[in-house]
Amino acid sequence: MTINEMKADILIIGGGSAGCMAAIRAKEINPSLKVVVFEKGDFKRGGTIAMGMDALNIVSIPGGDSPEAYVETVGSTVDGILDQKPSLVMAQRSYELMRKLESWGARFRKDANGNYEMLKIHPKGKFCAGMDEPDLKVILAKKAESLGVEVVNRTIATSLLKSEHVVTGATGLNLRTGEFVVCSAKSTIITNGGCSRFMMPHSGHPFGTYDYPGNTGDGWAMAYRAGAKLTGFEFTSNAPLIKDIACPLLYITLTRGAHIINGLGQRIDNEGDIGVHAMLREFNEGRGPVLIKMDHLPEEKIKEIEEILFTTERPIQKRFFEQRGIDFRKQPIELFPTEYFLCGGHGSAGLVVDEHAATSVEGLYAAGDAASVPRQHLTGAFVFGEVAAEKAAARAVSLDWPCATQAQIAAERNRVFSPLSEEPSPLDLAEFEQKVRQTAGDYAVPPKNEWKLKNAIKWMTHFKEELKALKAADFHELAKILEIESIIYCIELSAIASNARKESRWGSYHYRSDYPEKNDAEWKKHIILQAGNIPGETLVSFQDIERSVL
């Protein structure tokens, strides 16, 4: 249990898409900056994409649909709960970002005339650029490492360091060696995703989640304890994906001519256009399952779909479909709703940030799924990774090195290692996590009502007390306890936000049976969460929507 004390101009917590791009951009701006990345997994494959990607979801091509048009269309998809400036900045920088990725070797699909393949997945306009890059994550990691970024792998961040009201770095635990890492930093960027392990998946497999199962809300829990504001936690997301494997397939196939049918054999897509909520409604109203039908497509289209799926998006799908005897030319593909989860990329949950990626706490920035920029997807992770790095770098060059006090280090070290014991744990860690997440599925997800939400809050308070009794036999189990703690925080905060929003919004994502109607007059605003001065207290406030663009 050694202590590794280090310093950084910029500390990045999370080495996924946003973290990689932030590290690269910081070094591009100033190669002399010391940039350190804490990555829970391995930097080369860490994060949600892990491998490659079939599309860059949001790109405003010059001469095509404008950034302002994107702001309008994304605003409609999130029922108006959108600060417009960040989304505008993202769209304005998207084309330059795509060209940068191309210069690093990432391949984007083009037609015979050299024009980018643009797919329609938004209500208005075409903003989705087709990509064919199976090694995107490796490209990013190698680029960052070639610039001299220092990566601390297999390290879960445990707490933010503060000097009065300013964040001055973070602590971490190496989940294999038990090394306690203390990094004092002039600027800190949180990029370690949302909370995928929220409720249990329908499969019952705790790691069989749609999003990266290593995303357990660690960054949110740390930032909340440090006084940062959170928002969008009532936006509990799910999506219809391939049954039993929870992999994407919808827009890859639908944009290439596939049809969507329900369990009655009725076609439910509208000439190549369908929303997630329309499909979820089929399940909720008893007309499921929902299936993707491709037997009418020409062979070249089916081969194109197979090429994307089996090399770029999820290569494991090839074996999955082969073992089930499914041929796209003959059988439809069954979809099923995923578990509910919290995410700033596919949803709205995350740290409150402005168009400069700054949080409400000085010295702390956030990007990617950890930040609340609704429906930002991969483009948002890349763009705001860069934006956060630019602001963090400018701040770092004007400051002296901060120093964490020995009292801070000792207190956090004692907190982190206190469960480590040769005594057996009174509760099995896996069973305890399942119990927590099953309770989230019982009380904290749609359909919601006040009784269920208050019970979710009550149970999470109870689980926090039970957590104190857990014992860890090794450092891996110690990290698991830290993850479970973050999951409990996220479930509790989601229930608090959901109870505060006394209306229904975002289709089935926040449906309250006791307030079944959407109420723009009273609730077209943000629900803001922040830690109170009393231990265990969460302050709830409301913030108007920023509409400066449109």
Into how many domains does the chain fold?
Answer: 2
- Contact between 186 and 401 (Cβ < 8 Å): yes
Q: Is residue 487 part of a domain?
A: yes
DSSP symbol at 369? G
- Preceding peptide of 289 cis, ω within 30°: yes
Prediction pTM value:
0.96
The mean of the pLDDT values for the chain is 95
Residue with tokens 């890492």: 181
Measured CA to CA, the distance from residue 447 to residue 427 in angstroms comes to 30
Measured CA to CA, the distance from residue 487 to residue 157 in angstroms comes to 14
Measured CA to CA, the distance from residue 351 to residue 343 in angstroms comes to 10
The CATH number of the domain where 439 resides is what?
A: 1.20.58.100
Least reliable range by pLDDT among 203-207, 381-385, 511-515: 203-207
- Contact between 13 and 95 (Cβ < 8 Å): no
SS (H, E, C) 180-241: EEEEEEEEEEECCCCECCCCCCCCCCCCCCCCCCCCECHHHHHHHHCCCCEECCCCCECCEE
Q: Which domain holds residue 294?
A: 240-337
64: pLDDT strictly greater than 70: yes
Helix (H, G, I), strand (E, B) or coil at 510: strand
Q: Is residue 310 part of a domain?
A: yes
Measured CA to CA, the distance from residue 211 to residue 343 in angstroms comes to 9
Q: Is residue 378 part of a domain?
A: no
Q: Is residue 489 part of a domain?
A: yes
550: pLDDT strictly greater than 90: no
Q: Is residue 326 part of a domain?
A: yes
Q: Which two tokens stand for residue 516?
A: 């079944």
The reported pLDDT for the residue numbered 273 is: 64
Higher pLDDT, 436 or 132: 436
In a shared domain, residues 423 and 517: yes
406: pLDDT strictly greater than 80: yes
Beta strands 333-337; 240-242: pairing state: antiparallel
Across the range 143-165, mean pLDDT stands at: 97
The reported pLDDT for the residue numbered 269 is: 87
Across the range 359-383, mean pLDDT stands at: 97
Q: Is residue 486 part of a domain?
A: yes
Last residue of a domain, one of 291, 316, 337: 337
Q: Which two tokens stand for residue 268?
A: 């439910």
457: pLDDT strictly greater than 90: yes
252, with CB counted inside 10 A (0-12, 13-18, 19+), is buried
Q: Is residue 428 part of a domain?
A: yes
